[in-house]
Amino acid sequence: MSGLSSYPRSGAGGLNPAVKITKLLNDLGSAATLQDGRFIATQLMRELNLYCSGKASAGDKVDLCTAARDSLFKAKQAGVLDGFAFFEAMQLGADWFIKAFPFAQIAGTAQDISAFNKCAQTLESAGTLATLGDKRSASEEVGSISARYQMCALAGRDLYGSHFNPATAVGSTKYSVTRSNNQLLYARCAGPYNVNEILVVEVQGCDPIVIVAEAKGGGSTFGDANPHPTQSKPNVLAAGATTANRISQTDLAYAVSRAIYMSNAKSHNGSDVQKLRKEIGFLIQNAAFSKRLLYITARGQVKVISTNPFQADLTSEREHIKWI
What lies within 8 Å, CB to CB, of 87 at 6+ separation is 294, 323
* pLDDT on residue 105: 84
Q: Which residue has the higher pLDDT, 16 or 284?
A: 284
CB within 8 Å of 208: residues ≥ 6 apart: 200, 201, 202, 292
For residue 104, the cross-strand partners are none
Whether pLDDT at 231 is above 50: no
CA distances (Å), origin 214, targets 147, 182, 222, 255, 299: 7, 25, 9, 8, 9
State the average pLDDT over residues 291-311.
Answer: 92
Please give the model's pTM, rounded to 2 decimal places.
0.88
**Three-point CA angle 129, 134, 138, nearest 5°:** 115
pLDDT digits (tens, 9 = 90+) for 165-197: 999 999 888 899 999 999 999 999 987 788 999
Q: How far apart are CA 140 and CA 125, in angstroms?
A: 16
pLDDT for the residue 110: 84
Q: Assign 297 to helix, strand or coil.
A: strand
